[in-house]
Amino acid sequence: MTTGSTDALTSKQDLLDAVERVRPFARRTPLLDLSDLAGRSLILKCEHHQPGGAFKIRGASNTIAALSPDALARGVVTYSSGNHGQAVALAASRLGAPAVIVMPTTAPAIKVAGVKRYGGEVILEGTTSADRKRRAEAEAASRGLTMVPPFDHAMVIAGQGTCGLEILEQLPDVGTIVVPVGGGGLLSGVAAAIKLMKPSVKVIGVEPVGAAKMAASLAAGHPVTLEKTASIADGLMPVRPGDLTFAHAQRYVDALVTVDDEQIAKAALWLFYEAKQVVEPSGAATTAAVLSGLITTPGPVVVIVSGGNVSPETLSKLAV
């Protein structure tokens, strides 16, 4: 597998290899059918139950586990708003590798604490993904660390794709899978897995209204950089999709929808009060799309819920 090229789309073998690498690190998360509560087809794929609280452990472990002993000894670095950073720190710690995580100065305290709890070194830099990426690249160059990008990397995408394979195994008659979109790594991996294995299943991405970079890019026919992003879904706010994630979305994704902050907040609170699931705003975006009536494709409808790193204070603010 090559990386960084838009023609290096994920293959079936990439996905099968990822399953073996990811298995020791990630949980096989359950499906939770909430259709009776929602009044329409709504089945959660509970990735917020993963170690680190998000699907990110899949891509991080697939990438780091494939490194040479020398690279592991030198260590890894990434840039992340939180959940990918925690996943890299966790996977690296299990493999005995040092991990440096560059996070925004605005990162939620619960996510910074999570990285440190898993043994990662935290560097706070700027407020945008571009700020973090520059600092991470500098740290990689000066310290001989291997970069583990948050989304635009073939190994990361293949690792995230294992989530899609699990859904097919758990619910063979699934009709639609709804995926949250930040930089597009999860969307790319899941869409590739679904379309390579069962192309009749629809794959729909969900972005915040204030960070709809993939929708803008697909409309333009090339990756677009937004001037700024704004949303309560802090994990979905890159200003630009990756070149590789854009290529996957262009090839495999059926549709994209957007949800606003009010819809996201209502969904997070609905998941907490009605379903007894603790989910951060980023993780509630897919549920918001279904509850708001934006998903009209065939059921059963599985929504990937990812992001369980939310403080009680954040949840209480959503109710205001």
Query: Do 130 and 41 sit in the same domain of this protein?
Result: no
The reported pLDDT for the residue numbered 55 is: 96
Number of domains in the chain: 2
The reported pLDDT for the residue numbered 320 is: 63
CATH of the domain at 229: 3.40.50.1100
- Mean pLDDT along residues 183-189: 96
Report whether pLDDT(166) > 60: yes
Q: What is the pTM of this model?
A: 0.93
203 in any annotated domain: yes
- Mean pLDDT along residues 284-305: 96
The reported pLDDT for the residue numbered 226 is: 94
- Mean pLDDT along residues 28-42: 97
Q: What is the pLDDT of residues 75-123, one digit of tens each?
A: 999 998 888 999 999 999 999 999 999 999 988 888 899 999 999 999 9
Lowest-confidence region among 5-14, 236-245, 269-278: 5-14
Query: Do 100 and 117 sit in the same domain of this protein?
Result: yes
Query: Do 179 and 299 sit in the same domain of this protein?
Result: yes
CA 147 – CA 69 distance, rounded (Å): 15
Structure tokens at 275: 């379903």
CA 132 – CA 124 distance, rounded (Å): 8
Which residues, 6+ apart, have CB-to-CB distance to 163 below 8 Å?
Answer: 29, 45, 47, 55, 58, 186, 189, 190, 193, 304
Of 123, 147, 171, which residue sits at a domain end?
Answer: 147
130 in any annotated domain: yes
Q: Average pLDDT over the chain, rounded to whole?
A: 94
Query: Do 40 and 63 sit in the same domain of this protein?
Result: no
- Mean pLDDT along residues 52-69: 96
Of 103, 120, 147, which residue sits at a domain end?
Answer: 147
- Mean pLDDT along residues 165-177: 98
6 in any annotated domain: no
Of 113, 129, 147, which residue sits at a domain end?
Answer: 147
CA 132 – CA 125 distance, rounded (Å): 6
89 in any annotated domain: yes
Task: With cut-offs at 50, 70 and 90, classify the pLDDT of residue 3.
Answer: very low
Query: Do 41 and 179 sit in the same domain of this protein?
Result: yes
Lowest-confidence region among 2-16, 240-254, 280-294: 2-16
Query: Do 158 and 127 sit in the same domain of this protein?
Result: no
Closest CA to 301 of 3, 25, 26, 38: 38
Query: What range does the domain containing 132 cover?
Result: 57-147
Report whether pLDDT(7) > 80: no
CA 48 – CA 87 distance, rounded (Å): 12
